[in-house]
Amino acid sequence: MRPPMKKIDYKVGDKVEVCSKEEGFMGSYYEATIASCLDNGRYVIRYKNLLKDDESELLTETLLPKDLRPSPPCVRNPSKFQLNQTVDVFDNDGWWVGKIISEKILMEKNYYYNVYFDYTNQTIYYPCDKIRVHHEMMFSGEWFMEA
């Protein structure tokens, strides 16, 4: 049995990431900001990249704390990722966990890595600027950085 995750009290303006529970998007995280803190313990968040259906403004949602995590720390990416290193890739407006399965290669004047995604059994090439070091939130509330 896992210990409970340390409770985090967010405040208005905090940067967070929201874990998707939608079919086809499970396990992906979307950047958002806390817009307000409700008396019932829920939070109203405003997504950074997701728009309402009519695309008139940024999408907002009311969520429980368990659906949120703080934004991972901003760290400088290494000049080279290692084979089989777990990374986050920015695609479809969110961050997806994958593994590096190739050396860095030059294509179309940019450097790319081939990334494998367990949940879809797919490999896709991504430019380096769409890849970040993967972090896991520990039960203590601290971030653990994949090496």
Tens of pLDDT along the chain (147 residues) come to 555 566 788 999 999 999 988 888 888 999 999 999 999 999 999 999 998 888 889 999 999 998 999 998 887 887 899 999 999 999 999 999 999 999 999 998 999 999 999 988 999 999 999 999 998 877 777 777 766
pTM of the model: 0.84
From residue 76, give the alpha-carbon distance in Å to each of 1, 114, 124, 130, 131: 35, 20, 23, 13, 11
Predicted local confidence at residue 146, as pLDDT: 65
